[in-house]
């Protein structure tokens, strides 16, 4: 369930492997962001008849229609204090509970914002990997990455040692050819 929210050390035997992993993670987050955005849109349409004239609903509907970068600017203008107290949240042993529809709208916005932040981080990592590829560091490098919440944050370059366990596969074959006379 929470498999992408981890801290781990992963070794990649080529920059292509690292880039493929980053792109796979980006695609996963993009799919998730789209799914949550559809959920939010559907939820807001359903709530329009009952909450359409309430200020929080108007704000949420307006925010959903804005481009992603503008949403952050608008949220900063409103301030975190107002956002935190917009619904009745009750703390229970380290988590916050809400029984309101507004609370569900808030967590959907929070999730979408966090996922989009991850996509931006992964895009930056992807650009960095492309830059590393241009440096042509060689094929004898292992890329040991510190991955936090699905995003590689630090990479150590380590030289492979004489074809030891760092080789993924080894294929050895002897061929014999019969000569016709």
Domain boundaries, the chain: 16-136
Strands 90-92 and 95-97: antiparallel
**Which residues does 34 contact at the CB level (< 8 Å), separation at least 6?**
none
| DSSP character at residue 180 | P
pLDDT for the residue 132: 86
Q: pTM of the predicted model, to two decimals?
A: 0.67
Taking 50 as the threshold, does the pLDDT of residue 1 lie above it? no
Gap between the Cα atoms of 142 and 144, Å rounded: 6
Q: Find the mean pLDDT for residues 129-137.
A: 85
Q: Number of C-alpha atoms within 13 angstroms, CB side, residue 26?
A: 16
pLDDT tens readout for residues 45-86? 777 666 555 565 555 555 555 555 544 444 544 444 344 445
């Amino acid at each position: 369930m929470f498999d992408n929210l981890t801290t781990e050390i992963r070794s990649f035997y080529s920059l292509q492997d690292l880039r493929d992993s980053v792109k796979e993670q980006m695609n996963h987050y993009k799919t998730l962001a789209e799914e949550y955005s559809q959920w939010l849109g559907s939820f807001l349409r359903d709530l329009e008849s009952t909450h359409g004239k309430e200020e929080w609903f108007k704000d949420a509907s307006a925010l959903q229609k804005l481009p992603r970068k503008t949403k952050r600017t608008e949220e900063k203008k409103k301030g975190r204090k107002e956002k935190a107290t917009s619904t009745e949240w009750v703390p229970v042993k380290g988590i916050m509970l809400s029984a309101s529809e507004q609370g569900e709208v808030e967590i959907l916005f929070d999730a979408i914002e966090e996922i989009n932040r991850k996509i931006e981080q992964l895009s930056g990592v992807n650009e960095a990997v492309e830059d590393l590829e241009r440096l042509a560091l060689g094929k004898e490098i292992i890329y040991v990455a510190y991955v936090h919440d699905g995003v590689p944050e630090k990479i150590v370059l380590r030289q492979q040692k004489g074809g030891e366990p760092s080789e993924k596969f080894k294929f050895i074959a002897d061929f014999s050819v019969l000569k016709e006379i």
